[in-house]
Amino acid sequence: MVNKYLAEINKDFNNDIVKSLLSQANNLKIPIITNEGIHFLIQLIKIHSSKKVLEIGSAIGYSSILMALFTDVTITTIERDEKIAKLALKNIKKANLSNRINLIIADANNASIPEDDFDLIFIDAAKASYINFFDKFTKNLKSNGLIICDNLLFKGQVNEPELIKSRNRRQLVKKIDKFNQYLINQENFDSYIYNIGDGISISIKK
């Protein structure tokens, strides 16, 4: 199996902070970006030389903390769930990254971010709001900046909605498909969706 081979040959983050965040996410059953996804994101930040990141959906701070630990970015991250956000703030403090990660507790649909010079925006929150997030935060992105979206293949279900039994889940994957079509047709961006992690897109602002 290719995945098994890759898991064996690729080096994992050998870092106590990462290990403790992974076990926290696992214990609390909080969804976080996949291992392949976070490696992809970090490599992208390095290739693109991104310095300033806006993240929508912090959860416990795993992706923010890893981006900050393994690159030199500063991050603004938005989380609407107060309980999870407080946990993220604790984790950020424990990792000594409070000076580089600014967590805003708010619904990103209503949050107003004044800066317009982000190099990269990472969208990883409520899938039903992706079109709104994409539209709303485009103005915060520099030209040639990147928008990265996660979960666009949703566990391989987006391409086969008819096989999904739960009505809610079917509605959700239909919304993701709608977003994917929307994304690919944005004329101000060059976009491509990759079968990496749970389905990650890169959109480059023209």
Ligand X SMILES: C[S@@+](CC[C@H](N)C(=O)[O-])C[C@H]1O[C@@H](n2cnc3c(N)ncnc32)[C@H](O)[C@@H]1O
- Report whether 101 contacts 77 (CB < 8 A): yes
Q: How far is the CB of 63 from ligand X (least distance, A)?
A: 4
173 is an interface residue for ligand X by CB under 6 A: no
Q: Does 73 help bind ligand X (rule: CB under 6 A)?
A: no
Angle at 87 between CA 62 and CA 13, to 5 degrees: 25
**By CB under 6 A, residue 101 contacts ligand X:** no
Radius of gyration of the chain (CA): 17
Judged by CB under 6 A, the residue of 35, 74, 109, 138 near ligand X is: 109
**Residue 30 Cβ, how far from ligand X at the closest point, in Å?**
7
Measured from the CB of residue 184, what is the shortest distance to ligand X in angstroms?
Answer: 22
Residue 130 CB partners (closer than 8 Å, separation 6+): 123, 149, 175, 176, 179
Q: Does 129 bind ligand X (CB under 6 A)?
A: yes
Residue 178 or 185 having the CB closest to ligand X: 178
- 91 binds ligand X per the rule CB under 6 A: no
Neighbour tally for 195: CB within 10 Å: 10
- The gap from C-alpha 197 to its chain's centroid, in whole angstroms, comes to 11
Helices and strands (H and E) in the chain: how many: 7, 7
Q: How far is the CB of 193 from ligand X (least distance, A)?
A: 17
Q: Which residues contact 96 (CB under 8 A, 6 or more apart)?
A: none
Tell whether residue 57 is a contact of ligand X (CB under 6 A): yes
Nearest to 41 by CA among 3, 78, 9, 73: 73
Query: What is the smallest separation between the CB atom of 143 and ligand X, expressed in angstroms?
Result: 25
Among the listed residues 72, 82, 107, 117, the single contact to ligand X using CB under 6 A: 107
Q: Report which of 42, 93, 90, 89 is spatially closest to residue 63, judged by C-alpha positions.
A: 42
The residue (of 131 and 206) whose beta carbon lies closer to ligand X is 131
| Interaction mask 145-164, ligand X, x per CB under 6 A | --------------------
Nearer to ligand X, 33 or 101 (CB): 33
Binding region for ligand X (CB under 6 A): 31-33, 57, 59, 62-63, 78-81, 84, 107-109, 124-126, 129
